[in-house]
Amino acid sequence: MKRKMFVVLCLIGMCSFAFAGGGNERSAEGEPQYPKGDISVLIAAAAGGGNDLLVRALLPSLERTLKVSVVPVNQPGGRGAIAFNEVASARPDGQKLYFNSKSVLLMKFNGIEEANMDRLVPVAQVAEDVTIFFVRSDSPIKNIKDLINHIKTSKERVKSANSGMGALWHLSQILFCQTIGSDNILSIAYPAGSSAMLTALVSGEVEFVTCGPEAKSFIDAGKVRPLCVVYPGRYPSFPDIPTLKEETGLDYDYPVWRGFFTTEGTDPKVLKILSDALKTAVESEEFKKFTAIGMIASFKDSKTFGEIVDKEQKSLEVLMPGVMAQIKSADSSGGKK
């Protein structure tokens, strides 16, 4: 009997604590106070990857500014869709952030219907990288003009590597083809990412690769030759590589941004606080040390970043359905032209 009494007492105690807690939260909701507790950042990538390291480099400064713990949570499941869903369906209080690259815009077109950008609101852009064109270091192709010539005159389609059909680098190649006015390339998917793409380039399976600054170790090892970057000016991490525009006069706009998002409907005041905190973080010493590796810090506040996202979203709506249809028809015909 005594034991039962004790259990009942414990339960009553627990309930009262729970209700007390609930009551407190409700009373706090009236004031626009932010942050209300620890913030979690859902990273749509595994621990140790580029996106993960980037977020972790920003955390110390964020914690100093916001005076709460900022907890990174890696959720690579469902290609980032699970993390997307969790943030999109959270309470719009800015306590849950989502971090991803430009790929977040492509998810919707790759068959993940719930990844609708209307459900998220951009907070800030923190970094940017670029498309770099590579060939094997012993290739007869010495510069980007040679490559364009080769693509235009080759009898067989020129083989290139991407990180997935309809994904980031494939799209960059499609835009490149539109720019030079020839689609004589056969782009092959290497879903494991840049390292697999560059390995395929070194083995001679493909003739050129487009990917970002993560190729630095391959450049340093003398295995690949960078031809050009697609960027408005010389790219600060690789000042020796010429731009597409200065080599050929042609250009296309393809910034590969990385940034933070949160739940749609979040108070603009909260967005401002977060955006300012991120600005400080991007300028912090810890982040400068990190970006020395290759990627460049590039801060854009909530408003500017939002405009960029909207603009790209609109152009992708036009471009992507055609691209996806083309990919599917190419595969069902067994790769035949």
Partner 1 sequence: MGSFDLYLVGWQLIDPQVFIMIFFGTLLGIIVGALPGLTATMAVSIIVPLTYKMSPVVSILMLLGVYCGGNYGGSISACLINIPGTPSAIMTGLDGHPLARRGKAGLAIGMATLASVIGGLFSVFILAAFSPIIANIALKFKSLEIFGVALFGLSVIAYVSPGSTLKGIMVGFFGLLVATIGFDPTLGVSRFGFGSTNLLGGIDFVSAMIGLFGMSEMLANIEKTKKERDFGFLQEKVTKTWDALKYIRKLKAVLLRSSIVGVIIGAIPGAGGTIAAITAYGLQKKVSKYSHLMGQGSLEGIAAPESSNNACTGGAMTPLLSLGIPGDAVTAVLIGAFIIHGIVPGPMMYTTNPDMVSAIFIGMLLANIMILLIGMPGAKYISKLLKIPSQILNSLIIALCIIGTFAIKNSLFDTCVMLVFGGIGYLLSKAKVPKAPIVLALVLGPIMEENLRRWASLAEGKYWTEFVNAVLTNPVTLSMVLATLAVLLAPVIMKKKHFSEDDIQFTSTTGDTDPNEIIFAEKKK
What is the binding site for partner 1 (CB under 8 A)? 46-50, 52-53, 73-79, 81-82, 85, 110-112, 114, 157, 159, 164-167, 186, 188-193, 195-196, 198-200, 202-205, 217-218, 221, 223, 327-328, 331, 333-337
Closest among 77, 11, 26 to 47, alpha carbons compared: 77
CA distance 126 to 278: 7
| 185-189 and 296-300 beta bridge pairing | unpaired
Minimum CB distance to partner 1 smaller for 190 or for 208: 190
Residues 270, 41, 104: CA angle, nearest 5 degrees = 95
Within 8 A by CB and 6+ apart from 205, the residues are 159, 161, 188
Question: Closest approach of Cβ 40 to partner 1, in Å?
Answer: 10
| 256-263 and 120-129 beta bridge pairing | antiparallel
Question: Closest approach of Cβ 223 to partner 1, in Å?
Answer: 6
Question: Closest approach of Cβ 266 to partner 1, in Å?
Answer: 22
Minimum CB distance to partner 1 smaller for 144 or for 219: 219
Minimum CB distance to partner 1 smaller for 88 or for 124: 88
Minimum CB distance to partner 1 smaller for 24 or for 217: 217
Minimum CB distance to partner 1 smaller for 216 or for 279: 216
How is residue 286 written in tokens?
Answer: 């810890």
Question: Closest approach of Cβ 82 to partner 1, in Å?
Answer: 6
Question: Closest approach of Cβ 290 to partner 1, in Å?
Answer: 14
CA distance 162 to 92: 36
Cross-sheet strand order for the sheet of 158-162: 185-189, 158-162, 208-211, 131-136, 224-230
Minimum CB distance to partner 1 smaller for 225 or for 300: 225
- In this structure, is the dihedral angle defined by the CA atoms of residues 40, 43, 47 and 51, taken in order, positive or negative? negative
Question: Closest approach of Cβ 26 to partner 1, in Å?
Answer: 28
